[in-house]
Structures are given as structure tokens and as C-alpha cells.
Structure 1
Amino acid sequence: MSISIDIANASEAKELTTIALESKQYWGYSSDFIEMCRDELTLKEADFVNSLILVAKNNEKYCGFVQLKLNDNAGQGELEKLFVAPSFIGQGIGKTLYERAVEHARKMNIKELVLDADPNAENFYKKMGAITMYNTPSESIPGRFIPKMKITI
């Protein structure tokens, strides 16, 4: 499988949002749960201005994406989103996107990335070297807590 990774542009927002929603559904969440997360998972035009979004493709088929934001805190960034299309999960695309995001963070002089992880993805991030700092309230689901993680670069 030949994967290309490029900087995404706003014209790809719909395709990438579909990946985020389908990837979240992959973990067995209900339709109501997905609907409550829709706004948070939707890429907007401003996301392409205020952050770096990398897209993975296999022969022009969208496989996944990662969104990296630079915070106001010097040296700190945020791994805002990392999603892989369900048909490509388990093929190393998430790892490749993660590694590429870390490379870009390093070039941007980011020393630390923070992220709010889906509980189903926590072990993936731990394997990649992230540590769980604490559980934080979900922005989409009242009463739900998710792992707040940190990656030292």
C-alpha cells in the first residue's frame, strides 16, 4: 500500500469530517452520541488557517488525517484530531500520521503536545510515548470524562 501525506486544504473539509465521524462510529458509539460530537468533529475553514492539517491518502482515497495546533503558550501545541478511516484502521496509518505530526511540531519548536484522547485511543497514544496526566470533562458530552494526555518532544 502506497500512502502519501500532504498538507490538507479547506476544500477537503467535508471528506475529512466524514472520516472523523466514521472513525468515531467504529468504536461502537450510538448515533445519538455521534450527533452530540458532530460539531466538535467537524472541520471548519478556520481550522485550515489556525492549524496544520495533514491528510493521508492511498491512490487518492482518503485514509486519515491529523490536526496540529500551536498554542499561545510558548513551546506548547495541541494534537487536536487524529482519525483514520475504518477501512484503514490497523494498517499503520495512525502511527505514520502521529509521527509526521511530531516531526512538524519539532520544526515549529514545540516541546510538548497535549491532547484529549478518546478512551478507545488512549493505549495507542501510550504506545506512541504519550502519558496520561488526568481525566478532563468532554466538550461534547456532559458528565463524560476523557484522558488528557501529554507528548514530550
Structure 2
Amino acid sequence: MNNINVNLYMSILIRKIKERDFENGFFETLSNLTTVGDIYSNDELKKEIIRRVLENQNHIIIVAEDLESSKIIGTATLLIEQKFIHNGGRVGHIEDVATRKGFEGRGVGREMIHKLTEISNEHGCYKIILDCDPNVVKFYEKLGFVKKAITMRRDL
């Protein structure tokens, strides 16, 4: 993927996740979004999940790697859904956008969303949708997203 100068102080590489990212701060970055749990200490489960993700061309996890430190400072997921509507169109679902604590506001999230938009276009998606917390709505609006619907949820 691309090397990107996010600002004058930092250069990052946005790329697909690799298993080695587990040791370079992936879970620390993801935990800035929500509770990760004990998965970081379960090597078998991590290997099984990464294997499934990498085998599925419609499940794409990207990371932002700080080229100076080799640490993962951002992550985001794109799930591509095949539809029957819109002549068999495809929809990109963005999930789990997280920036490592201390790297917020530096353009990392913006660059990851740009990359997922590019990938969605390459996969022929006619739209991209995401759910977000109300306090980051303005961030997504700046990137061209609009409020469109109400999200409903049922925990199981």
C-alpha cells in the first residue's frame, strides 16, 4: 500500500495486517477503541483469526505503521457485502477504526478511511457505511459521510 507523510513529524505506511503486527502494538492500538479482552495472550486464537481474515478477500484489516518506530498506530476494518439489490452491487462496511493513544488528531484516521474508500472502489462497492460514536460524527462528515439512518443493536 502507500507510504504517507501524515504531517511534518511523522511518516506512516498503510497496509494490510500481518501476524507480526500482534507484537508491534496492534492490540494496544485497538484497545483505544474498546475492550480487547485476553486475546493478546492466546496465541492459538490469534493465529486462527488472522488465518481466517487473510483467507477472506472480503474481510480486510488495515494497519497504519509508524515508519520511525515500526509500531502500529492505527487500524481499521472493511467488510465487503455482496447484495442482490442494485444489480448485485456490493457495500463496504467500515468497522473498528482506532488510532493508538497519543496519535489522535494527526491524520492517521483520515488516511485509513481514504485507503478503505480506495479499496471499496476497487471492489466495485456502490456505497460505504459505518456506525460511529456521536462525538466523532464531525470527523466522518469532513470525510464525506452523511447521517443517513438510525442504528439498532441487540446484544446476544
Calculate the TM-score normalised by the size of structure 2: 0.69
SS of aligned partner of 1:129: coil
Once the 2 structures are TM-superposed, how far is the Cα of residue 55 of structure 1 from its aligned partner? 0.8
| Contact 2:26 2:73 survives alignment (8 Å) | no
Query: 1:61 aligned to 2:71?
Result: yes
Once the 2 structures are TM-superposed, how far is the Cα of residue 89 of structure 1 from its aligned partner? 0.3
- Which of 16, 27, 48 does residue 26 from structure 2 map onto? 16
| Contact 2:33 2:97 survives alignment (8 Å) | no
Q: Structure 1 counterpart of 2:62, which letter? A: L
Runs ≥4 in structure 1, deviation > 6 angstroms?
none
Matches within 5 A, 1:32-51: 34=35, 44-45=49-50, 46-50=52-56, 51=59
SS of aligned partner of 1:22: coil
Q: Which residue of 2 aligns with 1:91?
A: 106
Partner Cα distance (2:145, 2:65) in 1: 25
Once the 2 structures are TM-superposed, how far is the Cα of residue 134 of structure 1 from its aligned partner? 2.1
Partner Cα distance (2:150, 2:21) in 1: 32
| Contact 1:10 1:48 survives alignment (8 Å) | no
**Once superposed, what is the RMSD of the aligned Cα atoms?**
2.5
Once the 2 structures are TM-superposed, how far is the Cα of residue 125 of structure 1 from its aligned partner? 0.8
Calculate the TM-score normalised by the size of structure 1: 0.71
Query: 1:129 aligned to 2:139?
Result: no
Q: Structure 2 counterpart of 1:128, which letter? A: L
Once the 2 structures are TM-superposed, how far is the Cα of residue 123 of structure 1 from its aligned partner? 1.5
Gaps of 5+ in 2: 1-9, 39-45, 84-88
Residues 45-69 of structure 1, C-alpha deviations (whole Å, 9 max, x = no match): 3334331111111120111011111
SS of aligned partner of 1:4: strand
| Contact 2:33 2:96 survives alignment (8 Å) | no
